[in-house]
Amino acid sequence: MAAALCLQVLCSLCGWLSLYFSFCRLNKHRSYEWSCRLVTFTHGVLSIGLSAYIGFIDGPWPFTHPGLPNTPLQVHVLCLTLGYFIFDLGWCVYFQTEGALMLAHHTLSILGIIMALALGESGTEVNAVLFGSEITNPLLQMRWFLRETGHYHSFTGDVVDFLFVALFTGVRIGVGAWLLFCEMASPKPKWFVKAGGVAMYAVSWCFMFNIWRFAWKKSVKKYHAWRSRRSEDRQLKKNGHLKVH
């Protein structure tokens, strides 16, 4: 069983590496980070779809049945995601593009998935955490691509930022608190699984503080820009330089 799991993870890692190198060849005029973020976007969309199917359709429901034995589909998705996180953590460490908080998030994710696979249980809640963690990922990558292509300071950039902040606050913080409560209240999950859940939720709050600070600064900047434009319009009307049809 352990050999089969290791083989699945190895195949997943090779698959993500192959996708990355393919993106690098197709985007030779772009940076390596561009290709890596394309891989991250692909994984985000794929993992959201798979983990949503597991949680909402295939089951079991993570809020009422944490700590149950892993299903075959849960195992496959966890192996697929573990291979990605190993790839992305290695890439981030090699190119030194991320700070300590993101590295801690990736490390906790890897340890949590390995723990669920080794125990053969708690895949239900780990997949739920995967869904909550990845739900904002495509938006984060879209924000980066918009900035790189010079389209960030636009209505599209504002919509992406709003959706990112709203989803992060509502899902990772709001729904995440409910999931953590159900995990802690249930007698089935191991104590170290619960400790891992607390650690992941704490990391989410660290991200949340940074996101709220960014959202506040952007909102204040937008407000001042709006007031400045309004003041200029009033001045133009007062001086008679604005034609009214």
Summarize pLDDT for 108-119 with one digit per residue, the tens: 999 999 999 999
Question: CB within 8 A of 94, min separation 6: which ones?
Answer: none
- Confidence check: pLDDT of 236 > 70: no
* CA gap 137, 145 in Å, rounded: 12
What are the E-state strand segments in the chain?
A: none
CB atoms within 10 A of CB 49: 13
Tens of pLDDT along 176-195?
Answer: 999 999 999 999 999 999 99
Q: What does the block give as tokens for 150?
A: 């010079």
Tens of pLDDT along 130-144?
Answer: 999 999 999 999 999
Cis peptide before 187 (omega within 30 of 0): no
- Confidence check: pLDDT of 28 > 50: yes
- Confidence check: pLDDT of 224 > 80: no
CB atoms within 10 A of CB 102: 15
So what's the pLDDT on residue 244? 46
* Whether the Cβ atoms of residue 161 and residue 218 lie closer than 8 Å to each other: yes
> What is the rounded average pLDDT for all residues in the chain?
91
Of the chain, the end-to-end C-alpha distance in Å amounts to 78
Tens of pLDDT along 70-127?
Answer: 999 999 999 999 999 999 999 999 999 888 999 999 999 999 999 999 999 999 999 9
pTM of the model: 0.88
So what's the pLDDT on residue 75? 96
So what's the pLDDT on residue 217? 84
pLDDT, average across residues 146-165: 92
* Whether the Cβ atoms of residue 113 and residue 81 lie closer than 8 Å to each other: yes
* CA gap 117, 79 in Å, rounded: 8
Question: CB within 8 A of 41, min separation 6: which ones?
Answer: 137, 138, 141, 142
Q: Is the dihedral of CA 19, 23, 26, 28 positive or negative?
A: negative
